[in-house]
Structure formats: C-alpha cells, structure tokens
Amino acid sequence: MKNKPLTATTFFNKVTSHHKIILTLSIVIMIAVSLFIPKMTKDTSYDAFLPKDDPILAFRNQTKETFGLKDPMVIAIVNEQGIFNKKTLQLVYELSERLKTISGIDPDQITSLSTENNIVGTDAGLEVDPFFEIEELTDKKALEVKAAIDNFELYEGSLVSNDHTTTLIVAEMLDSYDKKQHEVYKSLMKLLDEYKSHNEQFYLAGEGAVSGYLIRYIDEDAMKTNPFAAIVISIILIFAYRRLRGVVLPNIMVLASVGVALGAMAAFGVDFFVITNGLPVVLIAIAVADGIHILGEYYETAAKHPEFTQKELVVVTMTHMWRPITITSVTTVAGFLAIAASSYMPPMTYFGLFGALGVFAALVYAVFMIPSAMMFLKPQLSKAYKSDQKIDYFGKAMAFIGKVVIKYPKAIIAIAIIIIAFGIHGASKLEINEDRIKNFQADEPIVKADALINKKTDGTSYLDILVETPEVEDIFEPENLHKIEALQTYVETLPHVKGSISIVDFLKKMNQSLNENNTAYYRIPDDRELIAQYFLLYSASGDPTDFDNYVDYDYRLANIRLRMDTSEYNFEKPVVDAVNTYLSQNFNSSTIKATSSGKVTVDAHWINRLGFNHFVGAGLALLVVLLFAALSFKSIWAGILTIIPVSISVLFIYTVMGVLNIWLAVGTSMFAAIAIGVGVDFAVHTVDRLKFLLSEKGLPIKEGYHEFYKSAGRALLFNFLALALGFSVLMTSSVPPLSQFGFLVAVAVTVSFIGSLTLLPAIIYLVKPKFFSTSK
Amino acid sequence: MKTRFLIGFIAIGLVFPLHSISQTLPSGQSIANKTHTRDEGVSLSRKLTMELKDKRGKIRIRETTSFRKYFGEEKRLVIFYLTPKSVMGTAFLTYDYPDASLDDDQWLYMPALRKTRRISAANRGDYFLGTDLTYEDIKLETRINRDDYTYKTIGKEQVDGHECFVIEGLPKSKEIAKELGYSKTKLWVDATLWMLRKADNWDVAGNYLKTIEIKDIKKIQGIWTYHKIYVKNHKTNHETIFRIDEVDYQTEINDDAFTKEALVNGL
C-alpha cells in the first residue's frame, strides 16, 4: 500500500481542484436524503422483533385473525372502598360508552362490567342479560352485580379484582391504528383526566398502551439525547483544536452520517424501532472521529510547514490520513454488519445495516467533503499545535503513560490476564432476559399502571393456546372439552399464570344456569348434542358474537387464553416450555391438536435467540476485524495483536454486567459487536504508528515510544474522548436499555483505549515481534 | 294562446317542483299501513334454510321446516331443526302478540335434555337465533312497523327492476330506538305489491349497521311470496341468507301444531 501515495496525491489534487462542485453535491445529497426523514413511521410493538414471515409470528397473527384478538388498552378503575357502588359502576358505564366514540378504538370490542352479559338460569330457561342497565342502577343493584360476579368464576380476576377494589375496561384497537397507538393513548389519557375529580383512581396499561407510550417516550428521549451528544462532541472539538472550522467541519460530517442513515431508512420504508433511537447518538460519536484525525494532521502539518498553500496543506493531510481513516471506518462498518448478519430480529438487523451505511457515509464525506470545504478557507494554525517541538498538557499526559508502560510491562500484562479470567467467568454467567416494561424508568405512569394491574388482576400478558380438531363441531365432543379443562387446570398451577378462559368456562356456566344454578352442575355436560343445543339456546337470547374470542364459527377451533402477571422473559419462558411439553403429550393425536401462541409465546421465541445472536455477532465482528487487520498489515501476528484490546474490553464488560446485574437484552446484546468495531481503531492506529516509527523510521524503542505517545497518542486521546463521551450521552437516555447500551460501549471503548495504549506497547516491548523490528 | 298557457304551466312546475312531487307520493305512514293489508294467507308451511356466514367466510347451514299461522292479529311461528345433526329435533316456538306492550312468548325444545325451555322475553332488537335479523324483523317479515317510527317519503327508486317508494323512518323516542336497536331506517317498499324489498338500518350510535334485501318474490297459490332474504351486517361483516322452498298456503295446519307439546312430538 505504501507504494501508492503518488496515486493518492493525484486523487486529492483532483478532489481539491473540483472542490466547488463536490461541496455543492455533498450538501445537496445530504439535504435530499434527509428530506425523507419526516416520512419515517415508528413501530414500537414487540412483534416488530420478528420478521413478518417467521412461522411463530405468522401463526400468532393467524390466531389473532381467527379469534379477533387485538392488542388491548386496559383501563383499571380503582376504588379502595370497593367498586360495587352506584357511582363507580356509573363511571364504568360512562367510560365504556365514551370509549366507543374515541377514534382508533373498536366500538364493538370493549369489555367491561357494563358491556358483558351475565348468564342466569331461570325456573324455565336461560337468561343472558347485561350485569346492569344504567337506568336501573342503584347502590342496591350494584350489590346484585357483586353477587353475580361472585357467581361467575370467569370474571373474577379477569374483570374484577378478587378484593373488589379494581375493575377493568379492556378496549381493543382497530388494526388501522397500528403504529398510531400513541394517538389513541393520548385520547384515552385525556378522557380519563375529565373524570379525575371522582374518588376513583385510573390506570392505563396493556399491550396497546405500552406501544403508544413508547412511541412518545422515545420521541422525547431523542429530542434530549441527540442535541446533547452534538454539544458534547463540539466541546471536545473546541478543546482539541480551539478553532471554528475544527468544530464546524466534523459536525457537518456528523449531520451527513446521521442524515444518510435515517434518510435511507425512511426512503426504504424501514420503521423506526425503539433501539433505532440509539443510532443517531452512536453515529455522532463515531463519525466525528475521522474529522478529529484529519484536522489533527492538518494542524500538525500547518505548524511544521508554515510555507504551504492551503491546497498543499489539504492534499498532504489527506494523503497521509486516507488510509488510517479508511481502515478504522471499515472495521466499524464490519462491527455493524456483524450485528446485521447475526441477528434474526429486524430492528437489530436494520440497526446494523443503516449504522454501517452511516459510518460509510461519514468516510465518503471525510474523503470528499472535508478537503473540498477546506479549500474555501485560508491556511490556519491551531493554538494546540504551536510549533513542532512544543507539546501541550494532553500530549504530556500521553507521553507520561508511555514511560509507565516501559517501566512496568509485566505488571500490565498480569492485570490483563486477571481481567480475562474474570471475563470468561462473567460470560458463562450472563443472564439473558428482557422485559418490555423495563423500557421505561420505574417512576413512569405506565410502569405503575402495569404493576398495579398485574398485582390486582390476572395480569396483562397473554398466552393463547389454539386447539384444533378435524371436523366441524368436534369441539363439542365432551372428551375434547375435558382435555381443554384439564389443560386449564394444569396451566393455572404454573407460576405467574393467574387465570385462563376458554369456551369450557362459558359452557359450565350455562350448564349450571340451566340446572337451577346448582353448583354441582358447574361441569361439562356428557352429551355432544346437548352441548350443541346449549349454544343454540344461547343464541336465542345472547349476542351471536359473544364467544368469538374463544371458538371459531364452525366449532372446529378453540382458543384458551392464559393471563400472566409478568412480561419478564425469565418467567415467561418456563411457562411456554411447560405448556409445550404438556401439549405434545396430551394434544398430539389425530382427534385433537394444540399449539401455543400469543404474546408470551412469541416473546419467549425471539428473546431466546438473543444470546446466540450476541455471541455469533461478537465472534463475527472479531473475525472480520482480525482478517482485515492481518491483511492490511500483511501479518497474522499483527492482526492478532490488534484484536487483543477489544477482546479484553468485551470480557471486561461481561464482568461488569455480572457485578451490576445487567441483563443481556435487546439493547445490551448489541454492545459487543459495536465495541469491537469501534474500539479496534485504537489498536489499529497503535500498531500502524509503532510499525512506522520502529520498523520504517528505525527509531530506538524508547524514542519511538515517546514519539508515538506525544502525537498519535494525543490524537487517539481525543478520538477516545469523543467516543466515550458520545456513548456516555446515551447514558442520559430515559430508555434504560439504551442507557445501558451506551454505558457498556463507553466502558468497553475505555478499556480498548487503555489496552491499546498500555497492553499492546507492553507486549511489543517485551516480545519484540519481528513485525516491528528494523527492516533497514 | 294555447302555447302560452302551456309555457306558463311548465314554469309553475319548475318553480314549485317539490310541491308537485309531495302531492303525488303517498305519506310514509300510509305506506306502512298499507303493508299490513296485504294478503299473507292464514297458515303457511315452508322449508327454511338458514345460511350464516362470518367475516372469515365460514358458513353454518341450518335446515328447518317451519309453520306459521295467524290467530286473528296474533302470529304464531314454529321452527323444527333438521340439520345439523347435533341440533336435529330442536324446535322453536314463538307467539307474537299484536299488542306491543305485551312481551312475546318463546320456547325452545332441546331433545338432548328432553325439556322445553322458555326463553326470556327478548328485546325486539335482539338477534334471532344467531342470525342478523332481529326478533322484530322476523315478526314483520315484509311488513313495516306502523307504530314506532315517524316516516318521511323521500322518492321513488327501482329495486331489482321494481318500482319502490323510498321512505325514511326515525324512532319516535330514544327508548324505542334502544329497544329496536335502530336509530334510523330507510325502506324500499314495492309500489304495487306493498311489500318491503330492501331496508337499510343504522345502529343506536348512528353507524351504518345492516342491509336487508328481500328477493325472489313470486306468486304462490295466489299469494305474493318471497323466497330469499339476504342480510349483510356492515359492522361485523356477518351475513345471513334465508332460502325458502316448498311454500304451501293451502294445507291447513292444526292449531295444536303451535303448542309446547307439539315441539316435543316433533314433525
């Protein structure tokens, strides 16, 4: 590669000669792509974590379609004095009615005490009537409703809490409001605010509400973290160069990088997911590095050669810098692409793909836009580079580190070995877990609502089990119904499963009602035809759509809905496994089959992949970086040396995660590949420079080290500060997974930086590999 | 002179067109009344096939034999289920009293239980045996409610090639609207046969609810008789088709056929 500077010089001569057109084009492209950004839609649903054609997701969607199940908004009305009084029930009625008029809510899919029917046996027949009519509502009537609920096992826990202080209104959203849940959430909160003066407290949670809340939440978060990151980066740039152009030019690169990445996402119709929120900040931190190195070289050259014209300065700078910034950009791109290649979850795949695109855009702008823009300016000196011999505090600090390395190389290696040992131990104990509600700070209203509803009622996490039989009306077969009943009895013994509902519950209630309300008849009738006739009888006075959620139209398919009081993977996974084992043993014949589905099953399915994805992604990133470094240095040993600091940084993080009890979850699982792609830059620069100083320039080792620390070391310090502080900005994010991700990458980058500037030189100092020995 | 008179006549017609139309169209109430004067025979036996289709296109078919007889103004209807096998022998009996303040009586015989169950007085707006027709729709068939709506005749239109009066009805009170389940109704009444051919209904919240079409009207034994009712619920996308065959007005049906005992004995 070293025989090419002439070509590079020619190339940058051309670039600087056409600087006007290139700069214009750069700005036009940047603006044109960014114009797509407002078109971006947000998808905060958990389903987004699986590809549309995933069999388990497809099956769930089919089940949802068959039984008309949707992501609900769940309103809890709490009255500590008890809800069975005229005023509270009146409120349930009014809210249920008002909900019907809210756009986005399906007016026919509202479930509450005022919409549901009671099944009562009379001396001669069966009566299916609302629990109460609003015109007849009195405190006395409210007590009758209480008695009716006490007699209707199905609704205990699902509609009214066992302690009678809480009742739920479940409102399902229209499919057309997918991705607009935040609008519905807002309308509902406004509605609830109108009723605030009453004795009752309101809580709003449920799948739909969480999605809606998240959309608004990540919006607000982005408004906070992105400008903050830009400010932090600018401050670092001011310290580095103390010049306006030193701040403005890298910031334009940052805009280009973020603009191209997000603009392309929008143009390709890719949704903005929760973790996408971290992308701009990550790109800001990464994209600025190229600018730092170019400007560092520029000011250094300007200090050494005050006689150069601006064009000469720019061309010389770029000729020196294009190679290291290309290498570091390519390794970062490799890190992002490793995430894309290893991840099955679309949000992470797109994070990788568009992150890689953003880094690539930064490189292109570094090579074309920066030299072109510089051509409009006059030569300039930076106060940070007064003359070629004087070094500032930053340079001095770095030179001191160099002395320490030469003094204690063995101690440094010993510390590294200890970190590796702890890290391997930590990796083996990593806890894979995820909980959607943990996307919010603990004091957010949605978190409180979710906790309250999970505590008081059967919970907000659904696991659906689809039962299939071969022929029409086979569900009426008592044997099949008994199997469903046994399954329900079993699942209700599982931890965190608080309740289950199926057609069997309604049937038993009908049987009891038709037998003088005798509780001995709260059981499945023995006669298939009698069961069919019960349903016909029910249709004579009930709404024909009453059982839509539990049985299909020709009584061939049934749905059993389990409710869990947690959305944490650690608790969901054992339930899904237990259910699946039970189903394969008891529902696996030619006459009856069953499959688990619903949110809980889907979650357990994809979160299960996180660990595998994480290690494959990290391994892939490491491999690509190793190959690339080995190729550029034409030495496998140099390649291995290069990846030592990042490998240690990742292992160190495993220890940190263990100590701080951080889960390997959606956000955090991406840290390793990014940390490798970004962190390896320090090692690349270190190996590249030391080789140049020791092998090509032939400096004695101590002199070479001193030279390395005071110039390259100084630039790397600012590169490190930009990265570490940039990622630290993510720590201020109110979305815990993002703030944890930012924290982990910032720590990893710090470890990589320290490793590259202590461990690597220490190893080279002790081992003296051939690669670094004088060739002349 | 003649021409001038003619021009003047046309000019008056142009200036007062509404006036002239309202004079030519009968009032909504009179149309409603007229539908009750039509000869429907006294007894009627027929095969009624109910085809129910949900929004996913799944179909339930129930074949029945049904008898109807007028006892003065009172109408009695009995339906015996033939298929599906699981409900064979199930029978439904209803007495519709002309006095709206009296709740209708309904019974269902369940052969598997060997018992007749009385069905609690349904709201007139409740759905009839899982179909998209309400008890009120079933009671009226091709007639129009005379008492509960304020009607307005809005014009004439063709339905299936037949001239129909188009009338719009609004329930006289909120209570009635809630009871019937409709906040508005639009009806197409055959201008020569005085039979309902089509109806659009809106639910209590004002949403477009459903369309009823009465089709294949043919003269059987001297009486105009429909052979198909198609109902589409626009909110749920559920559909109901009634097919009618083997219509017979002439064979007299014994009064005893409309008793609880007859339900048990079956066909």
Query: pLDDT tens, B163-175?
Result: 999 999 999 998 8
How confident is the model at residue B82, as a pLDDT? Answer: 94
Residue B72: pLDDT band (50, 70, 90) is confident
Spatial contact of A729 and A229, defined as CB atoms under 8 Å apart:
yes
Of B60, B120, B205, the CB nearest to A127: B120
Spatial contact of A26 and A365, defined as CB atoms under 8 Å apart:
yes
Cβ-based contacts of A552 with chain B (< 8 Å): 58
Residue B204 CB-density burial (10 A; 0-12 exposed, 13-18 middle, 19+ buried): middle
Cα–Cα distance, A478 to A482 (Å, whole number): 6
Q: Average pLDDT of A388-406? A: 81
Cβ-based contacts of A514 with chain B (< 8 Å): 113, 117
Residue B158: pLDDT band (50, 70, 90) is very high
| CA–CA min distance A493, chain B (Å) | 35
Give the tens place of pLDDT for each residue, B228-245: 999 999 988 889 999 999
Of A149, A173, A205, which one is at a domain's C-terminal end? A205
Amino acid A648 reads I
Cβ-based contacts of B126 with chain A (< 8 Å): 541
Which CA distances in Å does A316 have to A107, A299, A311, A321, B256?
70, 11, 8, 9, 112
Question: Among residues B229, B246, B173, B180, which one has the least CA distance to residue B209?
Answer: B180
A178/A122 same-domain check? yes
Lowest mean pLDDT among A212-226, A371-385, A725-739: A371-385
Q: Do B122 and A540 touch (CB under 8 A)?
A: yes
Angle formed by the axes of helices A278-304 and A244-267, nearest 10°: 150
Q: Write phi, then psi, for A432 (nearest 5 degrees).
A: -85, 120
Of A65, A527, A552, the CB nearest to B112: A527
Q: Do A473 and B84 touch (CB under 8 A)?
A: yes
Q: Do B117 and A124 touch (CB under 8 A)?
A: yes
Q: Average pLDDT of A717-736? A: 88
Confidence check: pLDDT of B8 > 60: no
How confident is the model at residue A41, as a pLDDT? Answer: 86
Spatial contact of A613 and A434, defined as CB atoms under 8 Å apart:
no
A105/A18 same-domain check? no
* Residues forming beta bridges with residue B117, ordered by sequence position: B108
Between chain A and chain B, the number of residue pairs with CB atoms below 8 A apart is 92
Cα-based angle A100, A104, A110 (whole degrees, multiple of 5)? 40
Q: B254: Cβ–Cβ under 8 A, 6 or more apart, which residues?
A: none
Select the more confidently predicted residue: A494 or A299.
A494
- In-domain check, residue A495: no
| CA–CA min distance A535, chain B (Å) | 10
A229/A164 same-domain check? no
Q: Average pLDDT of A756-770? A: 91
Cα–Cα distance, A189 to B204 (Å, whole number): 26
Of A126, A527, A533, the CB nearest to B87: A533
- In-domain check, residue A238: yes
How confident is the model at residue B197, as a pLDDT? Answer: 96
The ipTM is 0.84
Select the more confidently predicted residue: A308 or A240.
A308
Cα distance from N-terminal residue to C-terminal residue, chain B: 77
Which CA distances in Å does B162 have to B30, B211, B215?
20, 18, 11
A35/A80 same-domain check? no
- In-domain check, residue A333: yes
**Which helix or strand (DSSP H or E) is residue A655 part of?**
helix A636-660
Residue B187: pLDDT band (50, 70, 90) is very high
Token digits of residue A331 = 């390794």
Mean pLDDT of the residues in chain B:
87
Please state the pTM of the whole predicted model.
Answer: 0.84
Cα–Cα distance, A262 to A254 (Å, whole number): 12
Residue A238: pLDDT band (50, 70, 90) is confident
Cα–Cα distance, A154 to A160 (Å, whole number): 10
Reduced to 3 states (helix: H, G, I; strand: E, B; else coil), residue A485 is helix
Domain range for A160 is 72-205
Of A205, A239, A264, which one is at a domain's C-terminal end? A205
Cα–Cα distance, A476 to A481 (Å, whole number): 7
A644/A757 same-domain check? yes
Contact residues, chain B to chain A, C-beta under 8 Å: 54, 56, 58-60, 81, 84-87, 90, 92, 106, 108, 110-113, 117-120, 122, 126-131, 205, 207, 235-236, 238
A178/A270 same-domain check? no
Token digits of residue A581 = 């084992």
Cβ-based contacts of B129 with chain A (< 8 Å): 536, 539-540
Instruction: Quickly list DSSP for A123-157.
Output: SSSEEEEES--GGG--HHHHHHHHHHHHT-GGGBT
Select the more confidently predicted residue: A371 or B14.
A371
Question: Among residues A456, A451, A448, which one has the least CA distance to residue A157?
Answer: A456
Q: Do A125 and B59 touch (CB under 8 A)?
A: no
- In-domain check, residue A277: yes
A339/A407 same-domain check? yes
Most confident of A230-234, A386-390, A621-625: A621-625
Q: Do B90 and A126 touch (CB under 8 A)?
A: no
Cα–Cα distance, A343 to A673 (Å, whole number): 11
Cα–Cα distance, A112 to A91 (Å, whole number): 11
Cα–Cα distance, A737 to A668 (Å, whole number): 6
Reduced to 3 states (helix: H, G, I; strand: E, B; else coil), residue A524 is coil
Contact residues, chain A to chain B, C-beta under 8 Å: 65-66, 100-101, 107-108, 122, 124-127, 129, 472-473, 476, 514, 527-534, 536-537, 539-541, 543-545, 552-554
How confident is the model at residue B66, as a pLDDT? Answer: 94
The DSSP call for residue A551 is B
| CA–CA min distance B58, chain A (Å) | 6
A626/A759 same-domain check? yes
Q: What percent of chain A has pLDDT over 90?
A: 46
| CA–CA min distance A511, chain B (Å) | 11
Which CA distances in Å does A720 have to A676, A678, A700, B76?
14, 10, 27, 90
Confidence check: pLDDT of A237 > 50: yes
Token digits of residue A466 = 């689809």
Which CA distances in Å does A572 have to A55, A305, A493?
19, 67, 14
Confidence check: pLDDT of A91 > 90: yes
Cα–Cα distance, A454 to A74 (Å, whole number): 11
Q: Virtual CA dihedral for B194, B199, B203, B204, nearest 10 degrees? A: -20
Of A144, A172, A205, which one is at a domain's C-terminal end? A205
- In-domain check, residue A420: yes
Confidence check: pLDDT of A108 > 80: no
Q: Do A473 and B129 touch (CB under 8 A)?
A: no
Cα–Cα distance, A103 to A108 (Å, whole number): 13
Q: Do A541 and B122 touch (CB under 8 A)?
A: yes
| CA–CA min distance A55, chain B (Å) | 21
Of B126, B205, B207, the CB nearest to A541: B126
Q: Do A533 and B129 touch (CB under 8 A)?
A: no
A190/A217 same-domain check? no
Spatial contact of A643 and A683, defined as CB atoms under 8 Å apart:
yes
- In-domain check, residue A560: no
Which CA distances in Å does A425 have to A417, A665, A666, A744?
13, 19, 22, 18
Cα-based angle A443, A445, A446 (whole degrees, multiple of 5)? 110
Of B87, B92, B119, the CB nearest to A532: B87
Question: Among residues B100, B43, B6, B65, which one has the least CA distance to residue B246?
Answer: B65
How confident is the model at residue A40, as a pLDDT? Answer: 86
Spatial contact of B86 and A528, defined as CB atoms under 8 Å apart:
yes
Lowest mean pLDDT among A400-414, B112-126, B148-162: B112-126
Cα–Cα distance, A374 to A253 (Å, whole number): 13
Q: Do A536 and B129 touch (CB under 8 A)?
A: yes
Confidence check: pLDDT of A207 > 90: no
| CA–CA min distance B142, chain A (Å) | 22
Residue A275: pLDDT band (50, 70, 90) is confident
How confident is the model at residue A122, as a pLDDT? Answer: 73
Q: Average pLDDT of A152-173? A: 91
How confident is the model at residue A387, as a pLDDT? Answer: 52
Most confident of A423-432, A752-761, B48-57: A752-761
A191/A236 same-domain check? no
Structural domain count of chain A = 2
Cα–Cα distance, A98 to A112 (Å, whole number): 13
Name the closest residue on chain B to residue A544, using Cα atoms. B130
Of A533, A534, A544, the CB nearest to B130: A544
Confidence check: pLDDT of A1 > 50: no
Give the tens place of pLDDT for each residue, A447-464: 999 999 999 999 989 999
Cα–Cα distance, B222 to B29 (Å, whole number): 27
Cα–Cα distance, B29 to B36 (Å, whole number): 11
Lowest mean pLDDT among A122-136, A211-225, A561-575: A122-136
Mean pLDDT of the residues in chain A:
88
Spatial contact of A459 and A564, defined as CB atoms under 8 Å apart:
yes
Confidence check: pLDDT of B22 > 70: no
Residue A579: pLDDT band (50, 70, 90) is very high
Token digits of residue A412 = 């440094």
Measured on CA atoms in the order B125, B131, B135, B137, is the torsion positive or negative?
Answer: positive
How confident is the model at residue B1, as a pLDDT? Answer: 47
A384/A253 same-domain check? yes
Q: What are the structural domains of chain B?
A: 28-265 (2.50.20.10)
- In-domain check, residue A536: no
Give the tens place of pLDDT for each residue, A596-609: 999 899 989 888 88
HSE, CB side, 13 Å, CA atoms: give it for residue A448: 6
Residue A31 is part of a domain; what is its CATH number? 1.20.1640.10
Q: Average pLDDT of A54-67? A: 88
Name the closest residue on chain B to residue A527, using Cα atoms. B112
Cβ-based contacts of A129 with chain B (< 8 Å): 120
**H helix intervals, A492-597:** 503-513, 528-541, 569-586
Cα-based angle A110, A491, A168 (whole degrees, multiple of 5)? 25
Confidence check: pLDDT of B81 > 80: yes
Which CA distances in Å does A585 have to A463, A483, A592, A593, A595?
19, 12, 11, 10, 12
How confident is the model at residue B19, as a pLDDT? Answer: 47
A280/A342 same-domain check? yes
Confidence check: pLDDT of A4 > 70: no
Cα–Cα distance, A755 to A720 (Å, whole number): 12
- In-domain check, residue A552: no
Confidence check: pLDDT of A564 > 70: yes
Q: Residue by residue, what is the 3-state secondary structure of A675-711?
A: HHHHHHHHHHHHHHHHHHHHHHCCCCHHHHHHHHHHC
Cα–Cα distance, B145 to B136 (Å, whole number): 9
Cα–Cα distance, A611 to A657 (Å, whole number): 14
Residue A2: pLDDT band (50, 70, 90) is very low
